[in-house]
Structure 1
Amino acid sequence: MPAATDKVAVAGELHAPRAGVASLDNAIGHQNMQQLIQLRWFAVVGQVATILVVHYGFGIRLPLNHMLQVLTCLALFNMVSLLRLRIHRRVTNGELFVALLVDVATLTAQLYLSGGATNPFVFLYLLQVILGAVLLKAWSIWTIVVVTALCFAGLALFSRPLPLPLDHDRGLWSPYVQGMLVCFALNAALLVVFITRISRNLRVRDARLADMRQRASEEEHIVRMGLLASGAAHELGTPLATLAVILGDWRRLPHFSSDPELLQEVAEMEVQIQRCKSIVSGILLSAGETRGESSEETTVRTFLDDLVEEWRTTRPVEEFDYENLFGQDLPMVSDSAIKQMVCNVLDNALEASPHWLRLEATHDADALTITVTDAGPGFIPAILAEFGKPYQSSKGRPGGGLGLFLVVNVARTLGGRVAVRNRPEGGAVVTITLPLAAIVLEEDEDHDDAATALANHAVPPAASP
């Protein structure tokens, strides 16, 4: 393991959006409609230039007034589409289908006025078909194919041919061959540019869908673990209570009370039994049982101070630096999920660095930032690369890697994030950022409602990464 690395892993972005599949489709549809609008502006400019070059440059007379009227209508439709896109971001398959039909109708009108099927630019129909194949659903694609084929046939039947000489033998000097070359280059360039952009939009959607599926799988995993933990907590309650009674009886026996060393060991066992009972109570509390008995209103500074004091008295840490720089104190509910999350990070750091730890709490804008620093070996590159995934551990034991996995998911549920990195001088830094809106009580907020909102996400206090 190298002593230092510049790599930083972050999971659970602050206020991360939780859009569903429909929202993703809407976003991609919005982007695809933007591409069509841009393509339509290119078409307007390109048609104006082509019409002027053919009419004045080649001396081929075209009905300029009618063709410019068609272009004006196309430009107006594009402006309306752009305005609608800014007001309503949701774009359906039907809207994309109608937009392509308008493009086909406009192209057909221009071709009808400029030679029909004999116009070299008739092959621009292929551009509409290919765009439809990329953007639309199956029925819409085949409708575009049928419509363009009927338009081509109609042009061949009813339009007047262009007065172009049949001089194909002149090669590139032939106006018709030149028109076909320009049409081919235009088709190829537009397809490369816009199909590339549309494909990128689709890849982004697929990547986000994969991320959503992964997140759903992880959250389902947490639910199963929570059910198992809750069941185990119920089962452990009785034996822990029995052990507490037995230790209390032992303390009163003459054999133990007369031996200070044995009495100290009994006291230590009682402390550990009490700690186990607190852990079990925390699991049940976070599962929604006996919540009202333990939730209490406190402040952010007091909550952190009590958390650190309790953790320090029950762990064998040699040197622990704690600095609470939160500043203005704010009311909050003492929440077991946040407590277990921070304790999990501290336990992991203690296992890696039993000689020295540091915890710093700061108030950054509208967020609480908790930074835990250790002097251990740091995270190996594989852990950083897969940060936030379950069972990513270098310890090689069953259940390893669940600690940070659960920490990340609790932070993400509260709208926060967790970042880890290695220090250049050795050791690791874990930074937890939680939005104050998710943990702080408003002055007029009901205590029980706040407790319910905050304490629905437990972190079982087992399994370190």
Structure 2
Amino acid sequence: MRAKLAAIRRLAAPGTGRVRLRTLVYIRWFAVGGQLAAVVIVNFGLNYPLPLLACLATVAVSAAVNIGITLTRPMSGTLSDRGAALWLAYDIVQLSTLLYLTGGLQNPFAVMLLASVVVSASVLSRISTLSLGLLVAVCISVLAFRYEPLPGPEPLLELPVFYVLGVWQALVIGGLFIAAFVGSVAEEGRRMQDALNAAQVALEHEQRLSSLGGLAAAAAHELGTPLATIAVTAKELSHDLKPGSPMADDVELILEQTARCREILMELSRKPETEGGEPYSRLPLGTMLEEAARPYLTGTVNLTHDFRAVGEAPGSPEPVLTRSPEFLRAVGTLIQNAIQFADSEVILRARWDAGTVTVEIIDDGPGFSAHLLDRLGEPYVSTRAGADGEGEHMGLGVFIAQNLLNRTGATLRFANQDWWDWWGAGAIVRITWPRRELEHATSETGRVGEHAGQ
């Protein structure tokens, strides 16, 4: 599963192909058609003289580039972040050249320089969008002072300098605003979508494990009787064989391998993943928490359990939950995080009453970074620096856990313990559910996990 999460992370990284070549080619053809129509209408329809050859040559270059790319590259391919940025940079320079020939910022089509920045903000990385925004600012600054006269009726209209400077200021600020803020919002949306995809991968992984466990239990049950028959038959053959028979070794081998198969099936039957819809599919809260923590236990960190009822009715029965892949995966991830960064001990505390269930995971490690506390739960924000750099340290673990727990009605709170606390330094994760909602949600998600493999 880590490989899948890493693949999703690579998709979110700059440099990964996000823009289809066909889309950019079509956009450029649209621009070429619009530019050619404008030149023809102004020069021949309105009879306003233009530097016609220079204008047509500028438009023809873009058409030639498009034709060349169409003939040499598959249109179904994608461009990297850098390739798409260079593509849009060319469009900016080409349009700036055409504006230079037709009045500079006095040309009302100067606003089209922002189009490439808008496209970049929607699909490219923040650094590429900012770079294109700066390129637009440079081109606009040059066009404010260097340009051929705007074609029009005689005498030619010359706009006041302060008006041209106002247009320059508006376009520069608009371009930089789109690059900085619109680009940031779009990138955040892409990152969130990538993280949601990763959460879905994690959930599907847990559901497959659950369904595989059920298949293993069924296989152990169904194969038990044939293996017993084979074993009995082999024993009868061994008793009937005369001493020194050449078949004795073969019969002994059959008995040994049959015993080995029965041991394997017994081992499969004992695995917690095989409980499926059997009696152990509904477990007390404490047992569920212990099962979630079991894969991450180490010999160096002690895990202490503290489970009890609280409130006006201390004898309130312990919540009984259906084994849910979402619950086990999410709580297990948070316990794993605590064990990885604890110095010597992690406390797994559960409290419940008639209306509320609270689980706290407390470690005696360095705690969460203060500047990240408000951002924990966001995708690609790592809780604490990982040592191995594997997929679980990509900052997706807490995001996935929080989203899975939200499906069960949970509210998560991350905090560092105060220095005067009896436990001392360390991090604390508090998960709170309405009791009825938790019991209902795990029942529903448990059934979803069972049906996923059917």
Q: TM-score, normalised by structure 2?
A: 0.39
